Amino acid sequence: MYHSNAFVDWHYILAKSKQRKQEELSVFSKKLKDAKMVLFTSFAEQSKKGINVANMRKLKRGLRNLDSEYVVIKKTLAKKAFDDVTKDIQIDTKKLSGSVGFILGFGDQIAPTQFIYKFSRENEALKILGGLLDTKILSGKEVIELAKLPGREVILAQLACTIKAPLQGLHNVLQANLKNLVVVLGQIRK
């Protein structure tokens, strides 16, 4: 009787594991559908020390503030999720080296990229492997180049200055002409 119960308990544990994996896959697929961009990172190379717990918390907290999330999921489950969500794009997660984490960005696409680039420079264990932006697969080097671009707010400020400069010049010219007209009318009046 003891052996049969042990077998049933073991069978129950295996079934629960499959169920848990299915739930993880479902949650990750939903988040993947909502994400505007995805970055692939390695937080621990094989047989090397990875990111410590304190730095992982710091990473997750920083990404959360940028409307992004750091998700660690098995590569095989990630592959299934990518196949389901991105039907036109084939992503081979087996080619990603080390222990892999995915950054899902739900808002600004540049800010999380800049954050992870800065974080990877401070924490050598974290490697940027690549990414997915809209329908384009990016290499690690392309993600780093994207991270070096100015942020959304900086670009908007530059655009505002670019638009404002000619208008400011036109305003000054028109204002000078009005001043001259007032001076001429004042002299005529005398």
Task: Give mean pLDDT, residues 112-128.
Answer: 92
- Residues 46-100 pLDDT 10s: 667 888 899 999 999 999 999 999 999 888 888 888 888 887 777 877 788 888 9
Predicted TM-score (pTM) of the model is: 0.71
CATH number attached to the domain at 2-149 = 3.30.70.1730
pLDDT at position 35 over 50: yes
AA letter at 108: D
Instruction: Look at residue 4 in the predicted model and tell me its pLDDT.
Output: 46
Residues 6+ apart with CB under 8 A from 63: 69, 70, 103, 112, 115, 116
